Structure 1
Amino acid sequence: MRLLILGGTWFLGRALAEHALQRGHHVTTFTRGKSGSDVPGTIPIRGDRTSVEDLTALAVHGPWDAVLDTSGMTPHLVETSTKALSDATERYVYVSTVNVYQGWPTLPLNDSSSVRPYTPEGPPGESGADAYGREKAGCEKAVSDTFGDRSVLLRPGVIVGPHEYVGRFPWWLRRIAAGGRVLAPGTPDWPIQPIDVRDVAAFALDATERYLSGPYTLAAPIGSATFGDLLETCRQVTGSTATLEWVNHNFLIEQRVGEWTELPLWRPYAGTWRVDAARARAAGLTCRPLAVTVADTWAWLNDGGPLLGHERAAELGISPEREAAILAEWDARRG
């Protein structure tokens, strides 16, 4: 197949390009050339997708059997891209997010859960996460309006693995490798279900090759791993002697610890890690064990894997001073 990836040089886009080449597909990537590096074997085309002129010029290089969009963040951007490429491709695969569901992260979700309505302006006091989900819902609408049942909407939860540009797993790996007392959030049996970037890429290509259509939620199976599994595996693969100090959710909330940021992947809601991806599993989604993803991420970091400076990376992690202060207060509270 002839595939066009909007993106294709870092994280999911890179994994898609690598997997597609391994499957024998002809892969073109469209990027500004400012982030990451081109995957050997791809045909890179430079341009800015915010420019109608650049998109029009890109369309001339078609036709393609499918476009895989990993970088569409706003409804206007995606609408412009779908219209410019509508005559140059048969299908459109859009990478959305679990944030489009109204109940995430507080409620358990499945493929039938309600999606946020899209409005150009959000309600007063809208959070950043809600705004992100609303915008992505608008992106999905733009894809569906142009391509209808010739489109696939992928709604992954948290994506992790080698080449991760935000750095959630890398932060935990490096923190535990540094040793000492580690502030571990909640309880070790708190379930999590991040999904490996390579498994998302594989399903996206399966959906493309099999001409699937419609929305698919993507997440590891509910109950397949816990926060304890994650941190213990980090300790094992790094060879660390760190001590994990499990601190309950309510105390962390009282201390105003930044959920999802100061302690990456910690969010104390019942629905955060109860996302049922049954439709995707029925269509062939498979997820490798969490321990494999952790080990491969550590191997990538030790092989010189860089974090590429994504704007969200600066939000991650708790300072050593704040971590020590919270642990000291925890000790005092327990007497």
Structure 2
Amino acid sequence: MDTRTALLTAAVALLVAGAVGAVAAPDALTDPRERDEPPGQIDIAGTTVAPGEVGGETAELRLGTDLRHRGGTVENVTVRHRAIGAESGLLVDETTVEVGDVDFEGERTVNGTVTVEREGGYRIETVVFADGRRREQRTTRIAGVAALTPDYADTQVGFTDGTVWPTVAVSVVEADNRTATLSVSVSVTNRGDEPSDDVGLRLYLRQAESNVIAAEATETVGTVRPGRTDTVTATVEVPSGYNYYVDAALFDDDVLVDETQGVANLNPRETITANRTVRDVEFSVEDFEQGSDGAGAGDDAGAPQDRGTSGDSTPGFGPLVALVALVVAALTARGRR
């Protein structure tokens, strides 16, 4: 056998041996860097909450969960969201998002939704699972859901909220002993970025003492340019000598979108003011913070206490007053003798 044939035979033998070794021990050809790869880690980098579709009774909350991944692949990842009533503690809605195997490096946002009633507040609990095992949890607190405007009432036209300029202005056009003709002017503002569509204005004049509707009127608020304020005027006739509440409302396709109130004082001996009660409600989102119980924080913690008097002391009486009372009693007894 010559040298060339011997070399070829040796090379074939090595190839066969390598193939047999790879079949018998597949891990022998594995990249050492892959064997040294750390186990995968996944956690929550941040969460966001935004309003979705809003109806008359319920509101959709869009939840964004930023997942942060490091190391090897994390298999079978799911994200569960639970909406729990802040006061009742009852489960309102629950949804689970299937993410699958996670092998990206860095962060990625996973979106989900829950539906809640448009009242009260809620606690949103977001949990990340991997192969059915809990990996991370984040809790977010939601308040002021009632402040979200339903989609059917979403219009940018509303009554002007001025400090000096009146929203509802009433003037007397003509009056006699029986009736009075009033001119009612109402200011509306377009707070949007586009010209508004037509909306309806309805006016009721209620007699203050009896609460009876004395007159009503309907007008159309035409197109209002963005950021502009227009005035709509209506004329009504009411019995003279009485005071009236002027109730004004804006309707978009028979949906009440805004309301306000003014007054018309026609009784010279008595006046009334608009009985408007305004309570600001805002939609807010904040991370839940667990409060710690401080030492000595009882039911009366923070209540002002008078450290100079005991609990059974009588306000307004002191040693000097008691001494005077004794002297007066002694003098009285001596006089009787």
Q: Please, what TM-score do these two structures have when normalized by structure 1?
A: 0.22
The structure with the larger Rg is 2
Higher normalized strand content (fraction of residues): 2
Q: Please, what TM-score do these two structures have when normalized by structure 2?
A: 0.22
Higher relative contact order (CA 8 A, sep 6+): 1
